[in-house]
Amino acid sequence: MATKIAVVGIGKIARDQHLPSIGRSAEFELAAAVSRHGRVEGIDNYTNLETMLRERPDIPAVALCVPPVPRYEMAVAALKAGRHVLLEKPPGTTVGEVEALIELARRQNVTLFATWHSRFAPCVEPARTWLEGKQIRHVEIVWKEDVRRWHPGQDWIWEAGGFGVFDPGINALSILTAIVPPVFVTAATLETPENCQTPIAAKLAMRSLAGFDVAADFDWRQEGPQTWEIRIETDQGLLVLADGGSRMSVDGGEHPGGLEAEYDGIYHRFAALLKAGEGDVDLAPHKLVADAFLLGRKVDVGPFHE
């Protein structure tokens, strides 16, 4: 039988991805929406999460699709009410609050799933498999997109806890940490508009005990063609993951990928976790961003206007 689920935060990602994927899933049934302004036709709508949790004990799972700052309090409320919780990326604002959620979910004996949607891109698993047994020499990440095109009207991305350019950049880091040995940050520059709290561009240097370096270039000012690319030089050739993990080539030769179905994959994995009674929270991408903020040299740039 399908698990009833409530989606919280009916904004861009809920409408673009969560609602369609739940609609296609045989494992979940959309039972309610919770949002102050957004509404979903044909189901019960609530403007307050506590009310939904109180009035709908028949809904065992919630998907939190709000921005990171309000997410912790909502996750605590849902976990305390004994619900399984799916978190959009990034799983919270601080690493510490997500660790607290892991502990709360363990005590409540419910599933906490911190999703990293880019890990479900079709060529990520083939890339991880191809890299097995190969010696990595160097990694270069170029993640450049136009913030005005992808985040129109979203003020929260510029406020403290909004991640700025790391909102997309953490997607690259989620792929990186899924396919190569552990890395850590050695230097960062954070180009921050004078009227914002978060960076519009960032450069990171990272290193691995396995003996390779990583250079990452995140920029939200890219007009025209958009770039979401990871290039991995190995002793047996150059692997390029392009279009956010949708395409892969080795030494210029395209590898067959699969169909684009990141969020279908997320809900399938959530169902498997529920069935197994397990959780899945990997903080590796989040820690890299936190360390970039700890170590980063701030560079002031001109004001940002929509």
Q: Does 62 bind ligand NAP (CB under 6 A)?
A: no
Output the CA–CA distances (angstroms, integers) from residue 43 to 7, 33, 139, 281, in the order listed: 11, 7, 47, 30
Q: Which of 56, 83, 117, 119 binds ligand NAP (CB under 6 A)?
A: 117
For residues 181 and 135, the answer to whether their CB atoms sit within 8 Å is: no
Catalytic residue status for 89: yes
| Binding flag, residue 237, ligand NAP (CB under 6 A) | no
Q: Identify the active-site residue in 4, 12, 80, 89.
A: 89
- Closer to ligand NAP by Cβ: residue 37 or 305: 37
Q: What is the Cα–Cα distance from 274 to 270, expressed in whole angstroms?
A: 6
Query: What single-letter DSSP state applies at residue 231?
Result: E
Please state, in angstroms and rounded to a whole number, the distance separating the CA atoms of residues 266 and 76. 21
Tokens representing 184 are 């850590």
- Considering only residues 6, 7, 13, 216, which one is a binding residue for ligand NAP as defined by CB under 6 A? 13
Q: Rule CB under 6 A: is residue 37 a binding residue for ligand NAP?
A: yes
The answer to the question of residue 119 lying near ligand NAP (CB under 6 A) is no
Contacts of 120 (CB under 8 A, 6+ apart): 261, 262, 263, 265, 266, 269
Residue whose CB is less far from ligand NAP, 121 or 204: 121
Q: If you ran DSSP here, which 8-state letter would residue 146 be given?
A: B
Residue 71 identity? R
| Min dist. Cβ of residue 71 to ligand NAP (A) | 7
Q: Least Å distance between CB 253 and ligand NAP?
A: 30
Which residue sits closest to ligand NAP, CB atoms considered? 11
Peptide bond into 225 cis (omega under 30): no
Stretch that binds ligand NAP, among 29-37, 186-194, 196-204, 251-259 (CB under 6 A): 29-37
Considering the rule CB under 6 A, would residue 262 count as an interface residue with ligand NAP? no
Is residue 233 a contact partner of residue 138, using CB atoms and an 8 Å limit?
A: yes
Q: Which residues bind ligand NAP (CB under 6 A)?
A: 9-14, 35-38, 65-70, 88-89, 117, 154, 156, 167
Active site residues: 89
